[in-house]
Amino acid sequence: MLKRPPHNHLYAITECQELSEPTLLSVSESILAGGCQLLQYRDKSDDSPKRQAQASHLQTLCRAVGAQLIINDDIALACEVGAAGVHLGQSDASPAQAREMLGPDAIIGVTCHDDLNLAQEALTQGANYIAFGRFYASSTKPGAPPAPLKLLQEARSRWPQAVIVAIGGLNLDNAPEVISQGADYTAMCHSVYHHPQPQQYAEQFDHRYFHSPDARSVS
């Protein structure tokens, strides 16, 4: 279970395209050492052996510090490595299908872009968190449609107990803005994986540095 307010607002997403495997794992370990409790393995390649090996290594690192590993898109891989859950896009399997495969305790997140109706559908189907974005220019998804910050306020007002993730162009400078608007977690890829001091960077997302509402949880 991920309790909210989280000890750390950072939701780290692996940078797999530009980093060697040793560097990917080393940086991930540093990010986790900095207090990150939620890490997503995102690799869009079709190299199944590599993906299985990397996800297994990351699961070991997460388990060692009590963090949760989320697998992007691939429910079968999440099952294979015993990950905490899966993150689904709109073209992937439904939250209900993921729940059937992963079980009642899995964490299931869904990308909802800038659409509250998609968020309602995801929650109705049992998603544990809803993700909105992009809120800023993103190197990971440069073509994604922009989402207004007020969307986070609207989502928080509509679903006071929901766990909300902000995605897209986030870094330490703009993270306080999306958190103040209602986000619980700030999903980041390039800004944390390419930082010269990833552990220290992750440490700065400690909840004590942010003002956020009282506890909600992902279970």
43 is in an annotated binding site: yes
Q: What is the distance between the alpha carbons of residues 203 and 185, in angstroms, rounded to a whole number? A: 14
40 annotated as ligand-binding: yes
Q: How far is CA 132 from CA 63, 90, 188, in A?
A: 27, 12, 13
Check whether 139 is labelled as a binding-site residue.
yes
92 a known binding residue? Answer: yes
Sign of CA dihedral 199, 201, 204, 206: negative
> 94 a known binding residue?
no
The single-letter DSSP state of residue 188 is E
User: How many degrees, rounded to 5, is the angle at CA 141 between CA 124 and CA 44?
Assistant: 80
For residues 175 and 206, what is the distance between their CA atoms, to the nearest angstrom? Answer: 12
Closest Cα partner for 86 from 125, 42, 136?
Answer: 42
42 has binding-site annotation: yes
141 annotated among ligand-binding-site residues: yes
Q: Any known ligand binding at 201?
A: no
- Distance (Å, whole) CA 53 – CA 22: 12
CA distances from 85 to 38, 82, 105, 122, 202 (A): 10, 8, 9, 15, 22
3 is in an annotated binding site: no
Residue 138 marked ligand-binding: yes
Known binding-site residues for Mg(2+) equal 73, 92
Known binding-site residues equal 40-44, 72-73, 92, 111, 138-141, 169
